[in-house]
Amino acid sequence: MPSLQPVRGTHDLLPDEMRRHRRVSETARAVAERYGYLEMPTPIFECSEVFERTLGDTSDIVTKEMYSFTDRGGEQLTLRPENTAGVARALISGGLSQHLPLKFFCHGPMFRYERPQKGRMRQFHQIDVELLGVPQPQGDVEIIAVGAAILRELGLLDRTVLHLNTLGDSESRQTYRRVLVDYLTAHKSQLSKDSVERLERNPLRVLDSKDERDKTVVAQAPLYSDYLNAASRDFFRAVKDGLTALGIAFELDPRLVRGLDYYCHTAFEFVTETLGAQGTVLGGGRYDGLVEAMGGPPTPGVGWAGGVERMAMMLQDSISEPHPIAVIPVGEAAGTLALKLTEELRRAGFAVDLGFSGNIKKRMARADKIGAVAAVIIGDDELAKGAGTLRDLRSGTQEQVPLAKLSDRLAAYRR
């Protein structure tokens, strides 16, 4: 019988890697809260229609990558491939529109059937920030500032570049769409099969193509910025001015687009060169038409999602393990007291390890293996005195401490 292995595109987050993941998610959560974004996890699976409506029936995610299934009740469900759609659905189903503006932070696993590669698995994790109900460009500035602040706190901001573009309003989008269709139609024979299909249904998605043939055509395509109306130019100018005022550097990227019609105005990505082909660390934009497209009231929105795996891979400083106190009983008589002492110290907030068996040599070896900073040794002599021998495992010094004062004495070793 073959040995069991993780499903392709998944892997176990062992403690060393999990500490990095936790650093990313906990830092993001704390920073987001400073800006007023409160955590709101959405379900890991939704009705498939939630994603089919929002991601478009021509997107690769819907046509090729979604993990969908029919449950025992006959419902067509999908493991979430991204989080924004779930947040928009929650706004509608929860009747939250009366409480706008709303600020949400989300974190958790997403699922897409893709070819696994570095920094991109079939089960992956994202942090996600969404601002709903703010139509002004200041909302775009703040949402980007949250992302920059998280990357700064993680020590990653200087290793990324903020790419920025505008998609304009719906009027500008329609104007550019016509120009783009004319251009792509004239070069139709040079496009990939997928892009020929997109040309008929969602031509802006051709600009996102990774196919080398398409890239050659797109390189000479008309620029979106040349077809913006005055209102769209003013909106984008306000975003750029706001970022400049906050000291957030950016580079204009006229090829950065979002293919779906509910996207408008600002599109952005924080990009790095340290992860190879998977260079986007965090990206998003404004999606004023999303909630309405899902059947809800017209609701402006802007947000982003960031890859936890990619950020965790970029962390350069080591993530330290917890350094516990080791309690080491010597002899059977000390076992019960050691068990009680261990529980008391844990309740007092200390990380404490009590080995389950072994002589003092084996227990000290375990203390060294788990990175303990101190050991409390309890033998017959200590039992008689109501004390414990406290040994500093870094310096090797030791002293006897009355058990009643042990908690106070160990304060210096608190994590």
At 197 the pLDDT is 83
What is d(CA 216, CA 226) in angstroms, rounded to the nearest whole number?
A: 20
The chain-wide mean pLDDT, for the chain, equals 90
Instruction: Indicate the burial class of 85 (C-beta count within 10 angstroms; 0-12, 13-18, 19 or more).
Output: buried
Which of the given ranges, 58-67, 130-139, 248-257, has the highest pLDDT on average?
A: 130-139
Contacts of 260 (CB under 8 A, 6+ apart): 54, 55, 56, 59, 202
Predicted local distance difference test score (pLDDT) of residue 382: 87
Lowest mean pLDDT, pick from 16-30, 59-73, 276-290, 292-306: 59-73
Q: How confident is the model at residue 59 (pLDDT cuts 50, 70, 90)?
A: low
- pLDDT on residue 2: 59
35 sits in which H/E element: none
Poorest-confidence range of 289-303, 316-330, 343-357? Answer: 316-330
> Percent of the chain at pLDDT above 70?
96
CB 25 within 8 A of CB 308: yes
Q: Where are the domains of the chain?
A: 15-169+229-314, 325-413
How far apart are alpha carbons 202 and 209 in whole angstroms?
A: 12
* pLDDT for 63: 61
CATH number for the domain formed by residue range(s) 325-413:
3.40.50.800
**Chain segment 135-193, per-residue pLDDT in tens:** 999 999 999 999 999 999 999 999 999 999 999 998 998 899 899 999 999 988 888 88
Q: Is the pLDDT of residue 58 over 60?
A: no
* Range list of H helices, 315-405: 333-347, 360-369, 380-385
Strand ranges for 27-75 from DSSP E: 38-39, 45-47, 68-70
Q: ∠76-46-271 over CA atoms, to 5°? A: 125
Average pLDDT over residues 35-63: 83
Q: pTM for the complete prediction?
A: 0.87
Instruction: Name which residue leads in pLDDT, 65 or 308.
Output: 308
pLDDT value at position 102? 97
Among all chains, which residue has been given the structure tokens 């998944």? Answer: 10
pLDDT band at 303 (very low <50, low <70, confident <90, very high): very high
The predicted structure's pLDDT at residue 93: 95
Between CA 38 and CA 49, with CA 43 as vertex, the angle to 5 degrees is: 120
pLDDT (0 to 100) of residue 358: 81
Q: Is 9 left (phi over 0), alpha (psi -120 to 50) or beta?
A: left
16-35 mean pLDDT: 95
pLDDT over 90 (residue 72): yes
For tokens 């897409």, name the residue. Answer: 112
15-169+229-314 CATH pick, 3.30.565.10, 3.30.930.10, 3.40.50.1370, 2.60.120.10: 3.30.930.10
Helix (H, G, I), strand (E, B) or coil at 388: strand
pLDDT one-digit tens code per residue, 95-146 = 999 999 999 999 999 999 988 877 779 999 999 999 999 999 999 999 999 9
